[in-house]
Amino acid sequence: MSQLAEGAVVSGEVVAIKPFGAFVKLESGETGLIHISQISAKFVEKVEDELSMGDTVKAKVLSIDPSGKISLSIKALSDDRPRGPRGRRGRGGAPDFEDMMKKWMKSSEERLSALAAKQKKGR
């Protein structure tokens, strides 16, 4: 096994694309996986929308498990903005998932309350 370490920035070629991510053959000869959630900061519906076979990519090593599986992230390289309150990174105006979920929950609760009030009034 090579001298790869978590946090290292590596380059490699996309050698396989699966629905869940892309396999990248690194310059060291090892193969790592970029999970679909680690391809871009934006939502990626299909790996093929962002990556193609033979593409050369740069990625950050997220982890190397005891069996030698290498987890990579392209997103981590572009997501280098300083962390804000509660460890969140700035998104340049784009809401993060937690904020969107809170907004949806509030809206949902308001609609349920309005519906319950309407049903109670009709009785």
Total domain count for the chain? 1
Q: Find the CATH number of the domain harbouring 70.
A: 2.40.50.140
**CA–CA separation, 78 vs 108, rounded Å?**
33
Expressed as residue numbers, the domain containing 23 is 8-79
> Is residue 20 assigned to a domain?
yes
> Is residue 121 assigned to a domain?
no
Q: Print pLDDT tens along the chain (123 aa).
A: 457 889 999 999 999 999 999 999 999 899 999 999 999 988 999 999 999 999 999 999 999 999 989 999 999 998 555 455 545 544 455 567 778 888 888 889 998 988 888 888 877
